[in-house]
């Protein structure tokens, strides 16, 4: 080891403080790096061989794409550049100190290593910091590539440095930022300015290259639901007695379109016995599930825990930074042997709840995962690292970690063996089917419990030719149902299927639609403002909400990443397509402004009225703001008439709006409070609600 004076100084740039700390501990020879601060910004000094390592974190993106013109009331604008976030974004003031600290520390370094997340965003944010804060060091920086923050993998990544950062990926990332800014800023300004010119009141109205098509999915579904006309149909079931139990057998035609048909079946079968004419037994294997990519993790977490896609992504990010799971923003469904399946399972066996299952897998011999088709050149599928928590996990963190662990174990399981039975029963010439299903061998399902949903229907021993007593033949009158509403998970899945957005941005797009007031509720409902935004875009610039157009841009950005297209061509083409759209919006500014303002007015009023006042019974409870304190509360509209003084406090954080549902315990209307990145809370503000009795103050 050389002396500190002779040692070569290396700056290692990480994405976040937690990641920087893990890199520093892993690379320091004694595992005890020095934690230091520069203008309150944390960084670490470590020693390794003949190197003095300065490990400094960013705070996510420190630079952003912004128009050169500072006048926010002007569009179109096509001249954009990278600028420090603190110069152009409200609430980003702290990034100034981070840029200053990184810039100063970079002057001490002779070598540079980029150790941000190995994906398009990590590469782009690292490139901008190396270029602008470090004074053009992007061309000389080397690259650490890793998928987990375990000490072993970090040391391996340091020893096997890539000679340069991934420039094609950077170019694709820069292109995405520029195209998204060009579309998002221009279209949002066009509508915001139109609304302001008409009413004189400023209200942010946003849309964008991916946001527009995503909102159109929900609007189109809402229109289908609203225009749906139920049509009647009928079903027939036979209740048969087998031993001491009764079973329902369904008629061979599951749906009967005419009432007289259904009545004839009931009449023909009344008082008649049934005869078993055929028993079909089918055994089949169900393969294990494939490893999690981000989308399937988000889908499962919503299905079992009702966590929104964004919340799941945030939880997974925390687990990654704690070195408990691999990098979550991946589209891969592959688990390469290099991750050391056996080592991970042995480590997990230290936890009592996994010991029996991991031991079973380890004693089987070869470990071979059932993999999916999707691949990601940057990272494998999501998997547990085998590291155990260094602190007590919160309940949401524990749940998601457990889900990932059990999915990892399940992919190594054997196929499950299931059996289905279909018994054909002839009742006076009419055929009914009795169905059973049974799990003969759990296989992989044993490892994925409690996240398997299987409902067995066991039938008693039966044989062909057997006569069964028919106790009752039932006709059920039904109506067709409209298509189901989207929820955050199914909307994200639709985005994936249409290949718009990226694994890292889809959840944020959906969250933005909520925050803008375009959509609401877990079963998504579109507001009038959401309808109007899509109607305006569809009338004046249908290209902007075209899935095909958005998808083609995504494909071209992938081509940039693969070296088959240039950023300049893609940006040039995007600008050429947007110019006539903006010209048309400007020509129809007044009409657009009028439509938007009417929708904004209705939306604001609807978002404030909670429901009928339960005290005076004649007024409406509304979300109001105190002129004296600026705080919000719930008050009765009869207060202004001097008839009712009813009021209730509200949480001051997050966006509050009517939930549209009454409290199950007291029947009062409730309020939904949505804090960005968290699951919405539904609050009953009745102080005497039975559900609140026994709670600690």
Strand pairing of 34-38 and 63-67?
unpaired
Q: Is residue 3 part of a domain?
A: no
Q: Is residue 1 part of a domain?
A: no
Q: Is the pLDDT of residue 694 over 70?
A: no
Contacts of 132 (CB under 8 A, 6+ apart): 63, 82, 84
Same domain assignment for residues 23 and 150: yes
Label residues 15-33 b or e (16+ Cβ within 10 Å = b). Answer: bebbbbbbbbbbbbeeeeb
Range of 300's domain?
A: 294-410
Q: Is the pLDDT of residue 6 over 70?
A: no
Identify whether the C-beta of residue 14 lies closer than 8 Å to the C-beta of residue 116.
Answer: yes
* Reported pTM: 0.85
Which among 380, 410, 440 is the end of a domain? Answer: 410
Strand pairing of 51-57 and 8-14?
parallel
Within a 10 A sphere around the Cβ of 192, how many other Cβ atoms?
20
Q: Is the pLDDT of residue 113 over 70?
A: yes
pLDDT digits (tens, 9 = 90+) for 134-175: 999 999 999 999 999 999 999 999 999 999 999 999 999 999
CA-to-CA separations, 342 to 382, 386, 412, 567, in angstroms, rounded = 16, 10, 11, 43
Q: Is the pLDDT of residue 346 over 90?
A: yes
Which among 129, 145, 165 is the end of a domain? Answer: 165
Q: Is the pLDDT of residue 664 over 70?
A: yes
CATH number of the domain to which 518 belongs: 1.10.460.10
- CB-count burial class (<10 Å; 0-12, 13-18, 19+) for 571: middle
Contacts of 52 (CB under 8 A, 6+ apart): 4, 7, 8, 9, 10, 45, 46
Same domain assignment for residues 24 and 145: yes
Q: Is residue 2 part of a domain?
A: no
Q: Is residue 187 part of a domain?
A: yes
Q: Running DSSP on this structure, what letter comes out for residue 222?
A: H
Same domain assignment for residues 152 and 12: yes
Mean pLDDT, residues 237-250 taken together = 94
> What's the pLDDT at 697?
36
Question: How many Å apart are CA 94 and CA 81, to the nearest integer?
Answer: 21
**Lowest-confidence range among 258-267, 402-411, 608-617?**
608-617
Which residue in 607, 501, 615 sits closest to 551, CA to CA?
A: 501
Q: Is the pLDDT of residue 668 over 90?
A: no
Same domain assignment for residues 422 and 276: yes
Banded model confidence at residue 677, pLDDT cuts 50, 70, 90: low
Question: How many Å apart are CA 213 and CA 542, to the nearest integer?
Answer: 10
Banded model confidence at residue 637, pLDDT cuts 50, 70, 90: confident
Total tally of structural domains belonging to the chain: 5
pLDDT digits (tens, 9 = 90+) for 485-526: 999 999 999 999 999 998 888 999 999 999 888 998 889 999
CATH number of the domain to which 425 belongs: 2.70.20.10
The average confidence (pLDDT) of the chain is: 91
pLDDT digits (tens, 9 = 90+) for 315-327: 999 999 999 999 9
Question: How many Å apart are CA 460 and CA 247, to the nearest integer?
Answer: 10
Percentage of the chain exceeding pLDDT 90? 71
Same domain assignment for residues 544 and 635: no
Which among 128, 148, 165 is the end of a domain? Answer: 165
Same domain assignment for residues 427 and 280: yes
Mean pLDDT, residues 23-41 taken together = 94
Same domain assignment for residues 24 and 130: yes
Same domain assignment for residues 144 and 271: no
Same domain assignment for residues 359 and 261: no
Q: Is the pLDDT of residue 3 over 70?
A: no
Same domain assignment for residues 684 and 593: no
> What's the pLDDT at 4?
47
- Which positions are annotated as active-site residues? 327
Contacts of 97 (CB under 8 A, 6+ apart): 39, 40, 41
CATH number of the domain to which 336 belongs: 1.10.290.10
**Lowest-confidence range among 101-105, 542-546, 640-644?**
640-644
pLDDT digits (tens, 9 = 90+) for 452-479: 988 888 999 999 999 999 999 999 999 9
Same domain assignment for residues 117 and 22: yes
Q: Is the pLDDT of residue 696 over 80?
A: no
Same domain assignment for residues 107 and 55: yes
Mean pLDDT, residues 360-373 taken together = 93
> What's the pLDDT at 326?
97
- Which tokens go with 34? 């020095």
> What's the pLDDT at 401?
98
Q: Is the pLDDT of residue 660 over 80?
A: no
């Amino acid at each position: 080891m050389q002396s500190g004076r002779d040692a070569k100084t290396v700056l290692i740039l990480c994405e976040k403080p937690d990641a920087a700390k893990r890199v520093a501990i892993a690379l320091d020879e004694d595992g005890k790096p020095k934690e230091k601060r520069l203008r309150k910004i944390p960084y670490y000094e470590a020693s390794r061989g003949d190197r003095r390592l300065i490990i400094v974190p960013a705070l996510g993106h420190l630079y952003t794409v912004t128009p050169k013109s500072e006048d926010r009331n002007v569009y179109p604008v096509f001249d954009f550049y990278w600028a420090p976030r603190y110069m152009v974004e409200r609430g980003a003031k702290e990034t100034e100190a981070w840029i200053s600290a990184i810039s100063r520390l970079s002057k001490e370094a002779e070598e540079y290593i980029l150790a941000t997340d190995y994906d398009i965003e990590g590469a782009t944010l690292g490139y901008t910091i190396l270029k602008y804060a470090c004074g053009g060091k992007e061309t000389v920086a080397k690259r650490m590539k890793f998928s987990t923050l375990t000490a072993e993998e970090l040391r391996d990544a340091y020893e096997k440095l890539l000679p340069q950062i991934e420039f094609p990926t950077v170019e694709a990332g820069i292109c995405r930022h520029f195209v998204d800014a060009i579309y998002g800023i221009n279209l949002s300004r066009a509508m915001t300015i139109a609304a302001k010119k008409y009413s004189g009141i400023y209200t942010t109205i946003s849309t964008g290259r991916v946001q527009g098509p995503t909102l159109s999915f929900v609007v189109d579904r809402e229109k289908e639901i609203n225009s749906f006309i139920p049509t009647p149909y009928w079903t027939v079931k036979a209740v048969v007695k087998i031993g001491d139990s009764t079973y329902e057998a369904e008629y061979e035609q599951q749906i009967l379109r005419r009432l007289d048909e259904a009545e004839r079946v009931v009449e023909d079968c009344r008082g008649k016995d049934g005869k078993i004419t055929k028993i079909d037994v089918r055994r089949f294997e169900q393969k294990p599930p494939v490893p999690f990519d981000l989308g399937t993790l988000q889908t499962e977490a919503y299905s079992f825990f009702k966590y929104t896609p964004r919340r799941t992504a945030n939880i997974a990010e925390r687990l990654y930074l704690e070195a408990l799971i691999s990098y979550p923003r991946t589209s891969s469904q592959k688990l390469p042997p290099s991750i050391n399946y056996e080592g991970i399972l042995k480590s997990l066996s230290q936890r009592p709840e996994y010991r029996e299952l991991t031991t079973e897998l380890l004693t089987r011999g070869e470990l071979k995962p059932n993999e999916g088709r999707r691949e990601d050149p940057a990272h494998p599928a999501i998997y547990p690292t085998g590291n155990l928590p260094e602190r007590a996990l919160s309940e949401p963190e524990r749940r998601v970690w457990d889900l990932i662990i059990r999915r990892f174990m399940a992919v190594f399981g054997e196929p499950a063996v299931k059996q289905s039975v279909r018994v054909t029963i002839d009742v006076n010439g009419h055929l009914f089917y009795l169905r059973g299903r049974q799990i003969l061998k759990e296989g992989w399902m044993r490892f994925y419990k409690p996240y398997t949903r299987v409902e067995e229907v066991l039938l008693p021993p039966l044989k062909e030719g057997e006569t069964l007593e028919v106790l009752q033949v039932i006709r059920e009158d039904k109506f067709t149902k409209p298509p189901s509403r989207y929820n955050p998970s199914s909307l994200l899945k639709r985005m994936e299927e249409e290949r718009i957005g990226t694994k890292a941005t889809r959840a944020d797009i959906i969250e933005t639609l909520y925050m803008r007031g375009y959509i609401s509720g877990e079963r998504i409902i579109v507001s009038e403002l959401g309808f109007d935004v899509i109607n305006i875009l569809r009338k004046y610039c249908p290209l902007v909400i075209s899935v095909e157009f958005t998808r083609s841009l995504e494909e071209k950005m992938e081509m940039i990443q693969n070296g088959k297209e240039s950023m300049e061509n893609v940006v040039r083409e995007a600008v050429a397509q947007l110019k006539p759209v903006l010209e048309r919006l400007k020509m129809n500014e007044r009409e657009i402004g009028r439509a938007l303002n009417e929708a904004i007015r209705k939306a604001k009023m609807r978002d404030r009225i909670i429901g009928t006042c339960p005290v005076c019974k004649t007024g409406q409870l509304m979300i109001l703001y105190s002129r004296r304190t600026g705080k919000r509360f719930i008050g009765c509209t009869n207060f202004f008439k001097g008839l009712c003084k009813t009021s209730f406090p509200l949480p001051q954080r997050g966006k509050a709006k009517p939930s549209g549902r009454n409290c199950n315990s007291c029947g009062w209307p409730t309020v939904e409070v949505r804090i960005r990145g968290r699951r919405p809370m539904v609050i009953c503000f009745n102080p005497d609600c039975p559900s609140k009795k026994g709670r600690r103050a």
